[in-house]
A and B are shown apart, each in its own frame.
Chain A
Amino acid sequence: MKGFKPSAPFLLLLPAFIVLAAVVVVPLLLSLYSSFTPFRLTKPETFFVFVGLRNYLSILANTDFWWAFGRTVLLLTIALNLEMLLGLGLAMLVEKATRGQRILRTLMMFPMMFSPILVGFQFKFMFNDNIGLVNNALQSLGITQDAIPWLIEGHLAFIAISIAEIWSSTAIFAILILAGLLAMPKEPIEAARVDGCTPWQTFRYVTWPFVMPFAYIAMTIRSLDVARAYDIVKIMTDGGPAGRTELLWTLVARTAYSDGRMGMANAMAYFSILLSIAFTVYFFNKLAAARTQIGAEW
């Protein structure tokens, strides 16, 4: 290493490397190791028993796990796409507004102020079948006479969770896409209008390519961050009833702390990391493609 002269980007990135190594990489190695052991929290000595791939093999054979896995992928796909669409719509509505931008933008971010556990309680009570706000409203408006079991019936529970998740996270898309819209030069739009483009064409060929990278950034950030939804799901249904809304995170968390089977839980967690990596890499490529499309480095 003699004569090693660190380059500018290396120095600039060094602080990030250090922090991430300390808080993420080192613990990650520890938990990777523990996924090869039958580690139980209440039996510390099991940390030193090496069982190779046994945890992973038993997960492969565990149908409950794969159901949860599939459900998580489905939730991610639905929630992220809807969030992006709604976020785009919201950002455009707000951007078009001529007055009250400050207020509108702040209100738009309102859901981001709510801690996920609060969102969980909030939607659990709102979707309560007996005294919840939603059923009360539907009954008062005469839309239904029944107490709809929102958090019980498989599809409804999935929808209720998605609504809570979408409510709490659409703002992230909206604000990023709005930032993109605001950063967008106005000339191309003027030019398009002069050329007689319809609003839809203007959007499709001018606005959208420009904000797309922002949408993908938001998408990727969100797909990295979705495990946040754990707090919401934990309180709303905790995977129930009868495992109908079990997601990877609720399964892993219950295995890890409630059952105390940390080794197994970590092995499950690594499967979910693979899932996140797949999502991230996918959006990352999309982002790169979107960037090239509008001229590599701007």
Chain B
Amino acid sequence: MDENSSARLKRRLLGIVHRIGLFLAMLTICLPGLWIVLSSLRPTVEIMAKPPVWIPQEISFDAYVSMFSGIGKGGIPVIEYFRNSLIISVTSTIIAVAIGMAGGYAFARYRFRGKSSVFLGLMLTRTVPGIALSLPLFFLYVRLGIIDTHFGLILAYVALNVPFTIWLIDGFFRQVPKDLAEAAQIDGCTRWQAFWQVEFPLAGPGIASAAIFAFLTCWNEFALASQLTRSVSAKTLPVGLLDYTAEFTIDWRGMCALAVVMIIPALTLTYIVQKHLVGGLTSGAVKG
């Protein structure tokens, strides 16, 4: 009896500790982000204040209104940037995931000569620092005439993301027991069908997380985009952030507002996609 209640007490205590820990962790994660959101809604005089103004005195959407009000009135071509970002990120994510699925499947399911060195080689392409790539890439792109185009940036982003989509997806395919697909093949499926009907759904979470990664990488990438794009026809949102800086001045509130415009779709997408992280998961049935 005594033991029982102390165990219950302990569990409840642990539960509370867990909840507090979780709360603190989330707070740390969200505070810097919320500061950005607040900064976009408050006049600069309150944000960069000393003594600090902790409780917002004045909330307004001025920064958002002026963002859309056109050049010369504090506006920037946010619609165009948004469109470019969306096209480039979505397309390159889809391609990178497709290539990653093919590659990951090859590594997880086939044995071939030099497998691990090929794998390592693929990964190592990622170690090349952007700075060593940016100028030669610029040379090539100018020669090919794909500078400042969606295509050029999509190509670069696919290459940027392929190594780790392959890696992630490989890892998750390995987790899907081989016998499942083999069983399906014995049941009369082709390898192709077995892949789509058995292995693909089971590797779902891996593919979903690879896709989220790839998307967010593209959505936020700055260094290559600033080098390979030039005008509103291809500039992406991160590059657009710098529209709020001039040589000697910065419009921090405007920048925060644009940042919020960037964050909302990414957050929404993550919210939608993350359920597939578990959605494809099989509870007991698979492993049993």
Contact = CB atoms under 8 A, between A and B. Distances in A.
In the complex, are there CB atoms of A and B closer than 8 Å? Answer: yes
Interface of A: 7-10, 12-13, 15-16, 19-20, 22-28, 30-31, 34, 41, 89-90, 93-94, 96-97, 101-102, 104-118, 121-123, 125-126, 130-131, 133, 136-137, 140, 167, 171-172, 175-176, 178-179, 182-183, 185-187, 213-214, 217, 220-221, 224-225, 227, 230-231, 249, 252-253, 256, 262, 265-266, 269-270, 272-273, 276-277, 280-281, 284, 288, 297-298
Contacts of B49: 131
A115 B274 contact: no
Given A113-B216, A123-B32, A297 B128 contact: no
B26 A104 contact: yes
B275 to A, nearest CB: 6
B236 to A, nearest CB: 10
Interface of B: 18, 21-22, 25-26, 28-30, 32-33, 35-36, 48-52, 54, 98-100, 102-103, 105-107, 110, 112, 116, 118, 120, 122-133, 135-137, 139-140, 155-156, 158-160, 162-164, 166-168, 171-172, 174-175, 177-178, 205-206, 209, 212-213, 216, 219-223, 237-238, 241-242, 250, 252, 255, 259, 262-263, 266-267, 270-271, 274-275, 277-278, 281, 283-284, 287
Nearest to A137: B52
A178 B18 CA distance: 16
Prevailing SS type, chain B contact patch: helix
A192 to B, nearest CB: 16
Contact of A110 (B30, B128, B287): B30
A19 B175 CA distance: 27
Contact of B103 (A13, A41, A178, A186): A13
Contacts of B252: 121, 125
Top-7 shortest CB links A-B: A27-B136, A276-B127, A23-B159, A12-B106, A30-B136, A9-B106, A115-B220
Contacts of A31: 132-133, 135-136
Contact of B132 (A104, A225, A270): A270
B174 A298 contact: yes
Contact of B166 (A16, A187, A252, A298): A16
A269 B277 contact: no
A27 B228 CA distance: 14
